[in-house]
């Protein structure tokens, strides 16, 4: 890991390059808010946008990406777009239809990375493993057709990954999970990495909680950086791909300036073990009310 800029990439197990930091868009409202933040991110050098059908903002994001391409001549291939299959759409045919709808909303011919958003939807709680296998088969076919450049998982634990692997002929390339200071999910990260998956970190700023933490404030002072920058740098140095969300241009810029300093090993450990940041623990997928 020796990233120097936003456009430097991790390489997925199938050779696809993925920019090392992306813009998270969960809770970016559809319409002007999502359009403006995605356009501002692209204008400021971001080349990786993470969305999901469930966020309800694919259309605004598609508009922002299209306008940016049109206004700047940036090739579509230079922008990496991730979206996710929603829980209600698990199944073979429904996955194919959901992907078509996402393509339409995002106004693109292909998705760079398509993830199963959650492993155990409420709607399919008695047959989740079969449903994941069906969705995965559809995703493998869409991948082979070139409609998706990479396929992966989100919020999957070891107990969900194991049955999926039994049914899969293509291994997932990504597991997107919540990783932030004090919530490192070490075992799941190691397990996923050993299977060749890249860990993408959602809510890497602890959904804003890290800004209340005194220890993080002290570290920020030590490195003459902001709390957000120390936090995101930590995530990157863990070998993960952070997806911070912001709808404010100045914060988007701040969050992208993490390539000109390095955290000492001792501080990496300190951040991993931070306490007091557990009010929003990663949800147990088997108990999610959706
Ligand atoms: P906003 O969108 O108003 O900027 P996470 O990525 O962990 O989900 O955290 C997102 C939260 O952190 C949002 O509330 C976002 O608010 C806020 N945020 C993002 N970047 C920064 C920053 N650099 N400084 C302060 N708050 C930030």
pLDDT digits (tens, 9 = 90+) for 119-130: 999 999 999 999
In angstroms, what is the span from residue 36 Cα to ligand 1's centroid? 15
pLDDT digits (tens, 9 = 90+) for 262-279: 999 999 999 999 987 766
In angstroms, what is the span from residue 196 Cα to ligand 1's centroid? 30
User: Coil, helix or strand for 245?
Assistant: strand
pLDDT digits (tens, 9 = 90+) for 206-252: 988 899 999 999 999 999 999 999 999 999 999 999 999 999 999 99
Supply angle C-alpha 203, 226, 183, rounded to 5: 30
Residue (of 54, 55, 20, 17) closest to 37 by Cα position = 55
Measured distance CA(109)–CA(287) in Å, rounded: 35
* Pairwise pLDDT comparison (2 vs 149), residue with the higher score: 149
Does the beta carbon of 181 lie inside 6 Å of ligand 1?
A: no
- b/e sequence 3-15, b meaning 16+ C-beta within 10 Å: beebbebbebbee
pLDDT digits (tens, 9 = 90+) for 66-93: 999 999 999 999 999 999 999 999 999 9
* Residues marked as catalytic: 55
Task: Give whole-number Cα distances, 170 to 39, 99, 108, 114, 139, in Å.
Answer: 34, 18, 24, 13, 10
Average pLDDT, the chain: 96
How many percent of the chain have pLDDT more than 90?
93
Which of ligand 1's atoms lies nearest the C-alpha of 229?
A: 23
Checking if the pLDDT of 253 tops 70, the result is: yes
pLDDT recorded at residue 278: 65
Phi/psi for 155 (5° steps) reads 65, 20
Checking if the pLDDT of 135 tops 80, the result is: yes
Stretch 184-205: mean pLDDT, rounded?
Answer: 97
Does the beta carbon of 212 lie inside 6 Å of ligand 1?
A: no
pLDDT band at 182; cut points 50, 70, 90: confident
pLDDT digits (tens, 9 = 90+) for 47-66: 999 999 999 999 999 999 99
pLDDT recorded at residue 281: 75
Residue (of 173, 184, 197) closest to 271 by Cα position = 184
pLDDT digits (tens, 9 = 90+) for 18-48: 999 999 999 999 999 999 999 999 999 999 9
pLDDT recorded at residue 277: 73
Q: Which of 248, 253, 255, 279 to mutate to test the pocket of ligand 1 (most atoms within 8 A of CB)?
A: 248
In angstroms, what is the span from residue 205 Cα to ligand 1's centroid? 7
């Amino acid at each position: 890991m020796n990233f120097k800029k936003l456009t430097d990439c991790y390489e997925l197990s199938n050779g696809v390059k993925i920019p090392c930091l992306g813009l998270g868009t969960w809770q970016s409202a559809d319409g002007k808010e999502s359009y403006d933040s995605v356009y501002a991110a692209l204008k400021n050098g971001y080349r990786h946008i993470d969305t999901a059908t469930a966020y309800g903002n694919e259309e605004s994001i598609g508009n922002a990406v299209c306008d940016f391409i049109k206004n700047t001549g940036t090739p579509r291939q230079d922008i990496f777009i991730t979206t996710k299959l929603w829980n209600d759409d698990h199944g073979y045919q429904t996955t194919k239809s959901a992907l078509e709808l996402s393509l339409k909303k995002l106004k693109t011919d292909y998705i760079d990375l398509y993830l199963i958003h959650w492993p155990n939807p409420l709607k399919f709680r008695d047959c989740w493993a079969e449903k994941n296998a069906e969705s995965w088969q559809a995703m493998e076919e869409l991948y082979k057709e070139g409609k998706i450049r990479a396929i992966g998982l989100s919020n999957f634990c070891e107990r969900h990954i194991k049955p999926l692997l039994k049914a899969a002929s293509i291994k997932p390339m990504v597991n997107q999970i919540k990783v932030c200071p004090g919530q490192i999910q070490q075992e799941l990260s190691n397990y996923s990495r050993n299977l060749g998956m890249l860990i993408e970190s959602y809510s890497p700023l602890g959904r804003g909680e890290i800004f209340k933490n005194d220890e993080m404030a002290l570290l920020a002072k030590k490195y003459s950086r902001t709390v957000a920058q120390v936090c995101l740098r930590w995530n990157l140095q863990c070998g993960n791909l952070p997806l911070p969300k912001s709808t404010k241009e100045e914060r988007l810029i701040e969050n992208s300036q993490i390539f000109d300093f390095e955290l000492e090993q001792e501080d990496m450990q300190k951040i991993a073990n931070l306490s007091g940041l557990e009010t929003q623990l990663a949800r147990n997928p088997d108990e999610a009310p959706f």
